[in-house]
Structure 1
Amino acid sequence: MKTPNHFKLTALAAIFSCFVLTACNGANSSTASSTADVILTIPVEAVLTRHGEISSSYRTTATLEARGEAEVISKATGIVQHILVEEGDAVSAGQLLAQLDNERQQYSLNKEKAELNRLASELTRTKEMHERKLISSDVFEKLQWQFDAMQASVNLAELALKETEVRAPISGVISRRYAKLGQLVNQYATQSLFHIVSNQQLEAVVHLPEQQLAQARIGQNALLEFAGMLPVNAELVRISPVVDAASGTVRAVLRVANEQQLLKPGMFAQVQLQFDVKADALLLPKRALMTTDNSPTVFVVNAENKVSRKPVSLGYQSDNTVEILSGLALGDKVVIAGQSALKDDALVNVVSVKQFE
Structure 2
Amino acid sequence: MKTSHNFKLTAAAVMLASALLTGCNQANSSTAATKADAVVAIPVEAVLTRQGQISSSYRTTATLEARAEAEVISKATGIVQKILVEEGDKVTVGQLLAVLDNERQQYSLNKEKAELSRLSSELKRMEEMYQRQLISADVFEKLKWQFDSLQASVSLAELALKETEIRAPIDGVVARRYAKVGQLVNQHATQSLFHLVSNQQLEAVVHLPEQQLAQARVGQQAMLQFAGMTPVNAELVRISPVVDASSGTVRAVLKVANAQQQLKPGMFAQVQLQFDVKTDALLLPKRALMSTDNTQTVFVIDSEHKVSRKQVHLGYQADNTVEILSGLELGEQVVIAGQSALKDEALVNVVTVRQF
TM-score between the two structures when normalised by the length of structure 1: 0.95
Match of 1:112 in 2: 112
**2:208 & 2:326 partners in 1: Cα distance?**
30
The Cα shift of 1:292 comes to: 4.0
Q: Which moved more, 1:91-100 or 1:23-32?
A: 23-32
SS where residue 329 of structure 2 aligns?
coil
Q: Distance in 2 between matches of 1:165 and 1:331?
A: 73
What's the secondary structure of 1:199's corresponding residue?
coil
Q: Which piece of structure 1 moves more, 89-98 or 209-218?
A: 209-218
* 1:214 equivalent in structure 2: 214
Q: CA deviation at 1:159?
A: 0.4
Query: Partners of 2:293 and 2:128 in 1: how far apart?
Result: 107
Partner of 2:334: 334
User: TM-score normalised to the size of structure 2?
Assistant: 0.96
1:291 pairs with 2:295: no
Residue deviations 1:211-239, cap 9 Å, x none? 11122222222222221222222222211
User: Which consecutive unaligned segments of at least 5 residues does structure 1 have?
Assistant: none
1:221-240 correspondence to structure 2 within 5 Å: 221-240=221-240
Partner amino acid for 2:189? A
Quote the residue 1:123 is aligned against. Answer: 123
Does residue 30 of structure 2 align to residue 5 of structure 1? no
Aligned-partner residue type, residue 216 of structure 1: A
Cα separation, partners in 2 of 1:260 and 1:10, compared to 1, 3 Å: same
Matched residue of 2:319: which SS?
coil
1:246 aligns to what?
246
Name the structure 2 match of 1:261.
261
Q: What is the CA RMSD across the aligned residues, in angstroms? A: 1.6
Q: Distance in 1 between matches of 2:81 and 2:47?
A: 73
| Distance in 2 of aligned mates of 1:112 and 1:291 | 86
Please tell me the residue identity of whatever aligns with 1:8. Answer: K
Counterpart residue type for residue 251 of structure 2: R
Determine whether 1:310 maps to 2:321: no
In the alignment, the residues of structure 2 paired with residue 80 and residue 293 of structure 1 have an alpha-carbon distance, to the nearest angstrom, of 73
1:45 is matched with which residue? 45
Q: 1:2 & 1:226 partners in 2: Cα distance?
A: 104
The DSSP-based 3-state class of the residue aligned with 2:199 is strand
| Alpha-carbon offset, residue 261 of structure 1 | 1.3
Partner of 2:300: 300
Structure 2 residue 158 is matched with structure 1 residue 158: yes
**Aligned match of 2:348:** 348
Query: Runs of 4 or more off by more than 6 Å in structure 1?
Result: none
1:87 and 2:72 are equivalent in the alignment: no
Paired amino acid for 1:92: T
* Number of the residue aligned with 1:197: 197
Post-superposition offset of 1:293 = 4.8
Q: Any idea what SS the aligned residue of 1:153 has?
A: helix
In 1, the alpha carbon distance for the partners of 2:240 and 2:274 equals 18
Q: Deviations over 1:131-161 (max 9, x none)?
A: 3333333333222222222211111111000
Which residue matches 1:148? 148
Structure 1 distance, partners of 2:21, 2:49, is 54
Counting aligned pairs with the same residue, the percent is 79
SS in 2 for 1:223: strand
Query: Is 1:54–2:54 an aligned residue pair?
Result: yes
Query: Which amino acid is the alignment partner of residue 239 of structure 1?
Result: I
Deviation at 1:270, TM superposition (A): 1.4
Kindly state the Cα deviation for residue 82 of structure 1 after the two structures are TM-superposed: 1.1
Q: 1:8, CA displacement in angstroms?
A: 2.6
Letter in 2 for 1:223: M
Amino acid at match of 1:354: R
SS at match of 1:217: coil
Distance 2:229 2:169 in 1: 32
Distance 2:90 2:49 in 1: 52
Paired with 1:211 and 1:294, the residues of 2 have a C-alpha distance of 19
Distance 2:55 2:142 in 1: 78
How many pairs does the alignment contain? 356
